[in-house]
Structure 1
């Protein structure tokens, strides 16, 4: 495989000029021609032969794993602007040393490039080759069939190994849109395959990340290549020093982008003598955009699932992904309905600074809603300072009741601990109402704005039961329907009339 991808340089034997909007931007008899497998020739000019006054440095940086990091210039002449039309390798790797500080131009972004008096045609990237990229063949024929991103990363690494790439380790970092997770990290090892790690947002503040090459790469600084065998190798990152101590011979970390511009990182380590050749890196670099698109598909689905689970709930999000997306879509289910409410919220919101009240409210929800999720419930919505949740019955109503009571007890423990941890703050007080009944679980609203929730008399009854918690001075109030299904001792509170609920209702609370 290594011989299938090559780069070489040769001096142009003729005068080479670049024209842009009527101005000669470059004019040289010392231009170098870069020949690269399946790429059109590129002309590089010494800066002394370029009108650098017409170029303005930009922040764009791209990375080639065998040439290094390229910086870019915008071209301005006669009132016309060509963004990022020229690039240069200021500190190239060894393979790119002949073009150090030379400038090259995108043929499609300038008016013309001439060799002698002949205009050089703008050649598209070669579509055919005597040495087709076999990695690309695998990506097109097999990779799209892999169902998960970890399978894709594992398959890609094993494909590289089959093609003779001396790969021992790979790490792929994909930042994600998630309230708790900063990035999905796929760690491949030759001996063990892929391990997936979901790094939290606070990884950004941790030294191990800040001191890694991944941090500057994700900020747009290009890539990193360290030939660890070389005595003069720059040991500027802890991971580089650790790999060299382990006997690694080559380390490459390079960015790749998604269609929306998001930067991601792929790193590779070799322990073989000589490390990665230009041919190895060339073929990988060539297919990286295709690999990126396949990973992007998986990332977008993962993001969709994560956002649906976060904003709708795990079960509800799954139902939406399963196709329950139209107004009126839904089902009738039996469930324990949980309704909880924060006490004195109006007075608290008026007496506390906004940020303090939001922190107070989120602390309350963390204790109560977090307990619901911990015990297998589904939080459907937050209504101001109230929360609506369900514990679907499935085939066992008593089990659903046990889950709900376990969540109520855990919520009480968490609230007590939080209040004890903040003795100077107004203590959190709340009420929980629990009821068991039939609800309609589905989409309501207008076609342009739907909400997946529960509706029906059981949901209304749970809210009415909760409203009695303040009247009765109890934190948890339980309906008779719940008590009958639970079939274990509860403390009776008496019979009461509930607003919009027919007849008197026997109410209960947790036993002391």
Structure 2
């Protein structure tokens, strides 16, 4: 939860005070919901009878379309809700003020005191009337290149907002647009980095770790997973079905990894590379707990796929532990934040051996040393591993 805004106890007596605060005194506040809540309180102190306000931002996060920030009189913190991609197909959106604004309206104004049958017909207006609100206005909030977001204000003042109130609110919109765009783009940059390179790597990049060749040595448990026979599936199934199969597989594998403290560094076609840094307590045990849950999720996924006639997905997992170089590698203009080193190569070779040895999960002796007293492992002997001089003692995990 975001920290509540630290609202200056000295009332703002004019529009210029509010604009000055919004322009100059919000630079240390990271979260737009906190800024928006304080803005509404300051508007009240400036004599604008705001009782309820909302800010709707289109984020285009991988999982949700946007965010809705709601403030009401008496709240010290605004309420933040995510908006799903399918919202535009639902009744809460169709015919709503947001629908009108995003379809091009320059303003939506509704007198909530008049006979409801004479006004716009949507549940949101009925809800506001039930709360005693008398007037409502919504405007587009323009970000760079004309991208539209939405801000709304409502009052319970008899007679609604007067012309002066509306003019004063309109005066604030360009500044609110700038302030909200900066916060939104900061959050979007962080979200995109977390989505494409992982949370830890994203934090390092935002902190300035962007120079090619920069990096650090990390001791970690390494997990590489790859689908078997995926070429056959991709050649014989429609494209959309293949993508759906892949997404289901990656969900089954990825969610347990994240839940147990691992970080997925990359998806490679139908495979993934994840690490569990040994700086975390019980990192190796956590990796095996993640593998256990991922295997259970894959069983459920294959049962579901079987009901629709889809082929079951088989996979192999190779696990090793060792030092890896963690940092920026690539060309002068295109970098990848990843891990490399013999330990990564070993995990990859073990994944390849899973098919040859008829095991789903293979662990190196180096990794097994961390967990064999707490987990039931099957010793499968010493085996040559391509690229390594000596045979490696291997263990299978069936959890």
Q: TM-score, normalised by structure 1?
A: 0.71
Partner of residue 22, structure 2: 139
CA-atom RMSD in angstroms = 1.7
Gaps of 5+ in 1: 1-130
* CA offset digits 1:226-280 (Å, max 9, x no partner): 1222347514221112211322111111111002211011111211222222111
Q: 1:77-476, aligned counterparts within 5 Å?
A: 133-192=16-75, 193-231=77-115, 234-394=119-279, 396=281, 399-423=282-306, 424-476=309-361
Kindly indicate whether residue 385 of structure 2 is the aligned counterpart of residue 501 of structure 1: no
Cα distance change, pair 253–467 in 1 and its aligned pair in 2 (3 A): same
Structure 1: distance between partners of 2:40 and 2:362? 57
Relative contact order higher in (CA < 8 Å, ≥ 6 apart): 2
Structure 2: distance between partners of 1:137 and 1:159? 11
Displacement after TM superposition at 1:395 (Å) = 5.0
Structure 2: distance between partners of 1:358 and 1:277? 54
Aligned residue pairs, count: 380
Secondary structure in 2 matching 1:143: coil
Displacement after TM superposition at 1:200 (Å) = 1.9
Structure 2: distance between partners of 1:511 and 1:411? 12
Partner of residue 118, structure 1: none
* CA offset digits 1:296-319 (Å, max 9, x no partner): 000111111111111111111111
Structure 2: distance between partners of 1:360 and 1:138? 51
Asked whether the equivalents of residues 340 and 432 of structure 1 are also in contact (C-alpha less than 8 Å), the reply is: yes
Structure 2: distance between partners of 1:414 and 1:132? 56
Asked whether the equivalents of residues 100 and 108 of structure 2 are also in contact (C-alpha less than 8 Å), the reply is: no
Asked whether the equivalents of residues 15 and 168 of structure 2 are also in contact (C-alpha less than 8 Å), the reply is: no
Structure 2: distance between partners of 1:386 and 1:395? 24
Displacement after TM superposition at 1:132 (Å) = 6.5
Structure 2: distance between partners of 1:243 and 1:383? 50
Structure 1: distance between partners of 2:215 and 2:109? 54
Secondary structure in 2 matching 1:208: coil
Q: TM-score, normalised by structure 2?
A: 0.91
Asked whether the equivalents of residues 235 and 241 of structure 1 are also in contact (C-alpha less than 8 Å), the reply is: no
Q: Which has the higher helix share?
A: 2
Q: Which has the higher strand share?
A: 1
* CA offset digits 1:191-212 (Å, max 9, x no partner): 2231111212122222112242
Secondary structure in 1 matching 2:119: coil
Greater displacement, 208-217 / 434-443: 208-217
* CA offset digits 1:53-101 (Å, max 9, x no partner): xxxxxxxxxxxxxxxxxxxxxxxxxxxxxxxxxxxxxxxxxxxxxxxxx
Secondary structure in 2 matching 1:502: coil
Runs of 4+ in 1 over 4 A off after TM superposition: none
Cα distance change, pair 132–228 in 1 and its aligned pair in 2 (3 A): closer
Asked whether the equivalents of residues 435 and 479 of structure 1 are also in contact (C-alpha less than 8 Å), the reply is: yes
Greater displacement, 412-421 / 212-221: 212-221
Asked whether the equivalents of residues 432 and 469 of structure 1 are also in contact (C-alpha less than 8 Å), the reply is: yes
Structure 2: distance between partners of 1:356 and 1:495? 40
